[in-house]
Amino acid sequence: MSATKPLPESVLISESCLQNRIRELGTQISTDYENRELILLGVLRGSVLFFADLSRAIFGAQLTDAGREVQIRFEFVQLTSYHNSRKPSRVQLIHGGSDYLEQRHVLIVEDIVDTGHTLKFLSEYLRTLNPKTVKVCTLLDKPSQRQVPVAIDYIGFEIPDAFVVGYGLDYAQQYRNLPYIAVLDET
Ligand code: PRP
């Protein structure tokens, strides 16, 4: 199969800007969950790079403050959504969730919250697993596209209504490995 022709892109959030903000999030999360066990729940596939860097930023914050300790455990879910202009978005669980979440502190790690349908579906699904607390951390928030209200506890960057790729986010499964966030020029 031949690769899709690349589209022109321009950098929206540079690699250093991303990493600085993720360090700040790591410090904030390690303070908020001090001396507790925290389950980082990554939403596949888009969150993988953010998930990896955020988890290390939480560890890094502990190193700079020797008294602080957060025990981190990794879990993942994979969701798929169907977008159709005539019907509301439909989200389905492909894989994930575990009984281990019962009575645990869970932090959902997302790359982007757009319409909010994915997060709403996941929050409702998690409720059936009876966790102690559920919070949400997203790298990007695009509030202009919201169709359903969702609560977000940690936001990396609020972005305008543009098609963004990179750092986990794709266009036709490409661009996920860019170390920065870029805007695609689809014209
Ligand atoms: C993207 C992203 C979020 C979701 C947000 O996932 O990773 O999970 O869309 O959109 P929403 O707020 O409009 O629901 P996508 O379904 O593109 O799958 P991917 O993570 O595999 O790229």
pLDDT of res. 87 = 56
Q: From first to last of the 187 residues of the chain, give the pLDDT tens digit.
A: 555 656 667 999 999 999 999 999 999 999 999 999 999 999 999 999 999 999 999 998 887 776 778 899 999 999 887 665 555 568 888 777 677 889 999 999 999 999 999 999 999 999 999 999 999 999 999 999 999 999 999 999 999 999 999 999 999 999 999 999 999 887 6
- Pocket lining for ligand 1, CB < 6 angstroms: 43, 45-46, 81, 110-118, 170
pLDDT of res. 64 = 76
Q: Which of 32, 65, 99, 114 is labelled catalytic? A: 114
Quickly list DSSP for the chain: -PPPPPPPEEEEE-HHHHHHHHHHHHHHHHHHTTTEEEEEEEEETTTHHHHHHHHHHHHHHHHHSTT--EEEEEEEEEEEEEEETTEEEEEEEEEE--GGGTTSEEEEEEEEESSSHHHHHHHHHHHTT--SEEEEEEEEE-GGG-SS----SEEEEE--SS-EEBTTB-BTTBSTT-SSEEEE---
Q: Is 99 a catalytic residue?
A: no
- Predicted structure pTM score: 0.92
Expressed in angstroms and rounded, the spacing between residue 131 Cα and the centre of ligand 1 is 23
Nearest ligand 1 atom to the CA of 146 is 12
> Which of 89, 113, 118, 137 gets mutated to test ligand 1 (max ligand atoms within 8 A of its CB)?
118
Residue nearest ligand 1's atom 21 by CA: 45
pLDDT of res. 149 = 95
